[in-house]
Amino acid sequence: MSFRIRPARREDAETVLNLIEELNEYQDIPPCKITLESLRRDLFECEQPWARVNLAVVPSPDGGEVVVGHALYVVIFDAVTLQRVAYMEDVYVRPAHRRQGIGLALWKSVVEQGLREGCDASRLEVLGWNKEAVSFYAKHGAKDLTPAYNFQHHKLTWDVPV
């Protein structure tokens, strides 16, 4: 199957939101509180977008394209390793389009963009129960940092008093 990877555009915002919601459902994560308007603003309408998104698209019968996956990422500074890192928050390919190299191509698109921006590494998190994803990343050279660093990931939401 032919596909290509391209940056998401403002007109893709609703599709990006749908992909995020599909991934959350797959991971059994509660629905996100983000709105289409805030996603559009934060990814496409501000001077410094909060994150970036690459889309995997396949040709549609009408000559257009259909989005079948995405990678959402940010460039961060890792204070532990003192490196710039392309951090992938999401990588998702719709089930009917898996096992065709699309997930790897999305990951590579983030790595390539990170290299252009001076990043020394790419980082991502995988849910421990998702053995297929863990195996996929390991097969392509990702190292599990859990044993080395023993990090616990915590989240503080602003609706809870500190």
Catalogue the active-site residues: 137
Distances (CA, A) of 97 to 2, 35, 44, 126: 11, 27, 26, 20
